[in-house]
């Protein structure tokens, strides 16, 4: 009777044969994730530089643009600047009392609806600052969840965190917004989205692990949705009890291969500017020095929608059990890429496309 390879020999054999965790295959976009051009066809849009952290707040759409906060009135389309923080805004949460909080790169926490803004610091009981907040989620009881993308890097250094290959992210809970953070889970691969499951557990999107995991009250983890074809980001509630999942970049065989070549990665990061790394991007096709150019992408001088691409636009509708139902895309030949956040408001889905510097909106009922 033959036995399956295991231990160090099995790992070496998997690496030589390119199988198991060492495979460089990428799941296709099919079924509910079948590509379309819904994001590029959306006529309603607002121009904004790198819009992020879209949040429904006081019948308005609140979002960030670097350190700036903006509010969009969906009934009139009027856009106004709410204020400017003392650092880039990395996450926004609407609180049960009608206020809102913004988390800043470096660990700052600021109120949105007060002048001057009340300030606090995201830190644990040992005063270690949570410098890389990626998502906030407020509970009805005043508690708040915070995801920390990486223990070692800032939010802007997400490419370096992916290429270094260490899962140092964490999930924290605050009993009050100005209280010390308590650890809930650690060893997460760039967690960047949070949601409450209907059974009371917590759902977290792990970008570098390409999955959604559920974390129960005892800290046990189970995979709800795995092997996604892109890197998941924020999770937003849908009006029908489901969810909206943003995927900010596509996976590719080239990147998967590079992630398995440590020496090449280290030399690339040391010798080449970051914008030219073989890594995902929020926008692409703007510089001939980018990887994945030339005949591999264009045919007869035309960029095809099915061409390999470093950037993509994708938001997926999930049901109450976090399973995909349908999705809206901006493909390789589109420009509404880098979708990191979305919010549903008054029957419309607002999608922040950082790569295209736009907030677009879709009629939800027309797509279902």
Q: Over the stretch 357-368, which tens digit does the pLDDT of each residue have?
A: 999 999 998 776
Summarize pLDDT for 87-129 with one digit per residue, the tens. Answer: 999 999 999 888 899 999 999 999 997 676 788 889 988 899 9
Report helix, strand and coil shares of the chain as percent, to nearest 5: 15, 40, 45
At CA 118, angle to CA 112 and CA 121, rounded to 5?
Answer: 100
Q: Where are the domains of the chain?
A: 30-285+301-367
Confidence (pTM) = 0.92
Residue 138 near residue 93, CB atoms below 8 Å: yes
pLDDT surpasses 50 at 356: yes
Which residues, in sequence order, are CB contacts of 44 under 8 Å at separation 6+?
348, 360, 361
pLDDT surpasses 70 at 349: yes
Q: For residue 18, report the phi and psi dihedrals to the nearest 5 degrees.
A: 65, 45
pLDDT surpasses 50 at 272: yes
At 4, the pLDDT band (50, 70, 90 cuts) reads very low
Residue 1 is predicted with a pLDDT of 40
CATH number of 30-285+301-367: 2.120.10.30
At 177, the pLDDT band (50, 70, 90 cuts) reads confident
Q: Tell me the pLDDT of the chain averaged across its residues.
A: 90
Distance from C-alpha of 178 to C-alpha of 108, rounded to nearest angstrom = 11
**Span 11-24, average pLDDT:** 68
Q: Comparing 28 with 18, which gets the higher pLDDT?
A: 28
pLDDT surpasses 70 at 155: yes
* Structure-token pair, residue 97: 């009392």
Residue 236 is predicted with a pLDDT of 97
Nearest to 51 by CA among 254, 216, 234: 234
Distance from C-alpha of 17 to C-alpha of 187, rounded to nearest angstrom = 28
Give the rounded percent of residues in the chain with a pLDDT score beyond 90: 71
Residue 33 is predicted with a pLDDT of 96
């Amino acid at each position: 009777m033959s036995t399956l390879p295991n231990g160090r020999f099995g790992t070496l054999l998997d690496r030589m044969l390119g199988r198991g965790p060492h495979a460089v295959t990428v799941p296709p976009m099919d079924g509910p994730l079948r590509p379309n051009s819904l994001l590029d066809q959306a006529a309603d849009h607002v121009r904004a530089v790198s819009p992020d952290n879209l949040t429904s707040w006081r019948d308005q759409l609140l979002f960030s643009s670097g350190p700036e906060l903006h509010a969009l009135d969906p009934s009139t389309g009027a856009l106004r600047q709410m204020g400017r923080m003392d650092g880039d805004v990395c996450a926004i949460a609407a609180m049960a009392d009608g206020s809102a909080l913004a988390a800043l790169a470096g660990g700052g926490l600021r109120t949105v609806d007060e002048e001057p803004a009340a300030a606090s610091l995201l830190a644990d009981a040992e005063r270690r600052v949570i410098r890389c907040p990626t998502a906030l989620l407020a509970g009805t009881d005043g508690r708040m969840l915070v995801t920390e993308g990486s223990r070692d890097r800032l939010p802007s250094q997400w490419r370096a965190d992916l290429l270094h290959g260490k899962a140092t992210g964490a999930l924290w809970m605050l009993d009050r917004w100005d209280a010390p953070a308590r650890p809930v889970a650690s060893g997460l691969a760039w967690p960047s989205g949070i949601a409450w499951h209907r059974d009371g557990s917590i759902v977290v999107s792990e970008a570098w692990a390409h999955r959604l995991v559920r974390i129960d009250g005892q800290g046990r983890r189970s995979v709800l949705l795995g092997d996604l074809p892109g890197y998941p980001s924020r999770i937003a509630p849908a009006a029908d009890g489901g969810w909206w999942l943003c995927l900010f970049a596509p996976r590719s065989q080239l990147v998967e291969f590079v992630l398995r070549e440590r020496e090449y990665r280290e030399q690339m990061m040391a010798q080449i500017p970051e914008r030219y790394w073989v890594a995902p991007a929020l926008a692409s096709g703007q510089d001939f020095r980018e990887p994945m150019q030339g005949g591999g992408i264009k045919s007869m001088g035309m960029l095809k929608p099915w061409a390999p691409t470093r950037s993509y636009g994708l938001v997926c509708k999930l049901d109450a059990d976090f399973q995909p139902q349908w999705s809206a895309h901006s493909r390789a030949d589109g420009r509404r890429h880098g979708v990191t956040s979305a919010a549903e408001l008054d029957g419309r889905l607002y999608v922040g496309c950082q790569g295209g510097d736009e907030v677009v909106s879709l009629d939800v009922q027309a797509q279902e």
